[in-house]
Amino acid sequence: MCAVPKGFKKDLSVQPKYEGLERIQQLRDDIAYKGTMLPKGVHYIDIDTSFIEFVKNDLSISIDGEKVPVIFLTLQRWTEFSKTWEFTDEFKNIKVPFITIVRRPDVQVGTIHDGLWNVPGRPNYYYVKVASGDATKKGVDLYKIPQATAVDVVYEVRIFCNRMTNLNLMNELVQKTFNAREFYIYPNAHPMPILLDAISDESTIGEFEERRLYIQPYEMRVQGYILDEKDFTVVPTVTRAMLFLDIVESVNQAKVNVFTDNATSKVNLNFVFKPLALNTVDVSLTQKVLFESVEILSNTSSVVFKVNNITQTLPFVIEGNTMLNVTITRDNSTDTSQFLLKGTAL
């Protein structure tokens, strides 16, 4: 087995790297991983935890084969610590090197939006559509979340050591970590950049037992945001259900107008059959009439009259309060048929 020449990279990554919209979708999937379709919330404690893990893992250094310990302190504990130097061995000697993390309590308005502001009123906005329903109903729920509240959280990371070589080791690691201006942490899978704002020196704090104590503070600012799950909303929208309807066919009847001339006792029935109307109609007459003739006006080839289911031929008499059945044959089924049935009242 041949050896790999020096200078060649041995740990090549074969995992695909996403860009653009695919990268955005990957970040959204990470935020919702092993949860609901809504993103996970993020609070100060989540940012603190991620930052401490960042320092322990990405700014970790080993000196003489031992990993340099990391201590997280509040501002009050840092004041006490800097006065009493509790981090000592059994002989009350300061154990160096070690690293401390102090978070400033005065969290400022965030700058992650690059000077832009949220919409007033904290409205909720569409995040994702989720199918809902059961075997008979199909619907869609809209998951909505508000704009996150941008915050800038400042941390002071200090290394305490008594050798310049140890200080150089830490400085090199910090500079390499932030050589692209920012480094990302992921509290609850939310990407947030860390910026290295300043590097200073506090080595003049004092000397202990005639040994120089180097103290190098690094001011780091997390451009983060706060997102509370209690502000998320689920809005039901469209729901489709299986409906069973009884359809009753609407039947168009022929229109019949009765015109009576009292002076001459003439009775004329005007029949109008629209294109979609049935070719038969029943007419109830309240008086005795002698029907004598038919005048065809349009689209009618034949007319059949029946009284009590008996076919009648003109002229014929129909008694009062009797039903007259009329059936026609059209010349063209798509046109209106019209004719007059003329008679005299008896």
Q: What integer best gives the mean pLDDT of the chain?
A: 81
Asked if the bond preceding 191 is cis, omega within 30° of 0, the reply is: no
Q: Which of 267, 257, 189, 191 is nearest to 224 (CA)?
A: 191
Task: For the chain, list the domains and their CATH numbers.
Answer: 21-115+148-229 (3.30.2000.40), 255-345 (2.60.120)
Is the pLDDT at 179 greater than 70? The verdict is yes
Q: How far is CA 333 from CA 250, 304, 336, in A?
A: 18, 17, 8
Report the pLDDT value the prediction gives residue 155, as an integer from 0 to 100.
Answer: 95
Asked if residue 164 has pLDDT above 70, the reply is yes
At residue 92, the pLDDT reads 53
User: How many whole angstroms separate alpha carbon 303 and alpha carbon 327?
Assistant: 6
pTM of the predicted structure, to 2 decimals: 0.57
Say if residues 276 and 330 touch (Cβ distance below 8 Å).
Answer: no
Give the chain's length: 346
The band of 69, judged by pLDDT with boundaries at 50, 70 and 90, is: confident
Express each pLDDT in 5-51 by its tens digit: 565 555 656 566 777 777 777 766 766 665 567 788 899 999 999 99
Tokens in use for 287?
A: 């008086």
d(CA 58, CA 217): 17
| 268-288 exposure pattern, b = at least 16 Cβ within 10 A, e = fewer | ebebbbeeebeeebebebeee
pLDDT at 169 over 90: yes
Query: What is the enclosing helix (H) or strand (E) of 246?
Result: none
pLDDT of residue 133: 66
Tens digits of per-residue pLDDT, 239-286? 665 556 666 555 678 888 888 888 888 888 899 988 888 888 888 888
Structure tokens at 335: 């046109």
- Confirm if 95 and 89 have CB atoms less than 8 A apart: yes
The CA distance from 341 to 266, in Å, is 11
H-helix or E-strand spanning residue 30: helix 21-31
